Amino acid sequence: MSLIIDSHIHHYSEDVLSNIALWADTHREHYWKKLVLGEPNSKSIQGWASTDKLLKDMDEAGVDKVILQGWYWEHQSTCNSQNAFYLRCFKEHPDRFIPFVSVQARDGERGLDDLKKAYEAGACGVGEIFPQAQGFKMDDPVWLQIVEWAVEKGLPINMHVTEPVGHDYLGKIESPLEEYLFLAKRYPELKLILSHWGGLLPFYELNPVVKMSFKNVYYDTAASPLLYDSKIYRLVIEAVGLDKIFFGSDYPLKVFPRKQIEPNFNLAIEEVKKAGLSGTECDQLLGLNIQKFLGEKLAS
């Protein structure tokens, strides 16, 4: 049976989980606090999970491995804290966790130096990065140094992309699609993963100029049930090809808020299997594509 690899989850240490609001205030991560806790007296769809619960949920759903995606933190010190936690998780469970690490380009070359240390400690990629939320521009010189270093090391970068038309939610920040085209054109060798179906950027690959520039651009399905009808699976496959799509759940976000009391992987996997894909297509999307993409990094 093919591996199931979730290419997009988030995970937080016990230090965070013990008092989420206090932790966010102490670390001055106000944007993250707004997203995960919502407005006072509102019901948040953010779920939480200890490492034990995460592993249990993976086992129950038949998920073999997950990519731990960093958050787009406001401060490099917070990036370092979560990166260190991810690397500890990887060291303790190397057969289950694949660590990507985050960076804050606004903190100057310190961010790149810290990334290099994380890479030496076992990081397999960079992300999730969201320049618009982190306060730097896509053509920021330090950010471009980081991208060039990632290209040199063959490391993929996962970037958050917001859909330009659609849902309006607390904390939504626009991410102009042309900026991702700029990055892909400037660094054609960059292995770029655009989260959340790339804000529907895959359909722009029907334009031959975009398609040529996006040879190394891939898309994950994180939070898909919150954003799109399940028809999107077949439509994006037809637009860009099956091999460019990676399954991601955005766990522990409750992407089926009417059905989920606690976060799980089962419902997101079930949606893929009910999306009208063949068994072979499901196997590719749920694990084989990202397995091939990561190659030696997954094996190590």
- Residue 299: per-residue pLDDT: 55
Which of 58, 104, 65, 97 is closest to 81 using CA atoms?
104
In a domain, 44, yes or no: no
In a domain, 42, yes or no: no
Reported as a single tens digit per residue, the pLDDT across 279-295 is: 999 999 999 999 999 99
Reported as a single tens digit per residue, the pLDDT across 162-198 is: 998 887 777 889 999 999 999 999 999 999 999 999 9
Portion of the chain with pLDDT greater than 90, in percent: 92
In a domain, 32, yes or no: no
In a domain, 17, yes or no: no
Q: How many CB atoms lie within 10 A of CB 83?
A: 25
- Residue 169: per-residue pLDDT: 78
- Residue 264: per-residue pLDDT: 98
Total-model pTM: 0.96
C-alpha span between 100 and 290 (Å, rounded): 14
Residue 49 has, within 13 A of its CA and on its CB side, a CA count of: 24
In a domain, 27, yes or no: no
Reported as a single tens digit per residue, the pLDDT across 21-75 is: 999 999 999 999 999 998 877 789 999 999 999 999 999 999 999 999 999 999 9
Count up the domains in the chain and report the number.
1
In a domain, 39, yes or no: no
In a domain, 192, yes or no: yes
Among 49-53, 83-87, 119-123, 162-166, name the one with the lowest average pLDDT. Answer: 162-166
- Residue 89: per-residue pLDDT: 98
Distances (CA, A) of 244 to 10, 98, 206: 22, 19, 14
- Residue 166: per-residue pLDDT: 82
CA dihedral 162, 168, 170, 176 (to 10 degrees): 30
Q: How confident is the model at residue 1 (pLDDT cuts 50, 70, 90)?
A: low
- Residue 95: per-residue pLDDT: 97
Gyration radius from the chain CA atoms: 18
C-alpha span between 190 and 130 (Å, rounded): 16
In a domain, 65, yes or no: yes
User: SS3 for the chain, per residue?
Assistant: CCCCEEEEECCCCHHHHCCHHHHHHHCCCHHHHHHHHCCCCCCCCECCCCHHHHHHHHHHHCCCEEEECCCCCCCHHHHHHHHHHHHHHHHHCCCCEEEEECCCHHHCHHHHHHHHHHHHCCCCEEEEECHHHHCCCCCCHHHHHHHHHHHHHCCCEEECCCCCCCCCCCCCCCCCHHHHHHHHHHCCCCCEEECHHHHHHHHHHHCHHHHHHCCCEEEECCCHHHHCCCCHHHHHHHHHCHHHEECCCCCCECCCCCCCCCCCCHHHHHHHHCCCCCHHHHHHHHHHHHHHHHCHHHHC
- Residue 23: per-residue pLDDT: 98
Please report, for the domain that includes residue 295, its CATH number: 3.20.20.140
- Residue 40: per-residue pLDDT: 78
User: Over 70: is that where the pLDDT of 297 sits?
Assistant: no
Q: Tokens 């606690």, residue?
A: 262
Expressed as residue numbers, the domain containing 91 is: 5-11+49-299
User: Over 70: is that where the pLDDT of 300 sits?
Assistant: no
The chain-wide mean pLDDT, for the chain, equals: 96
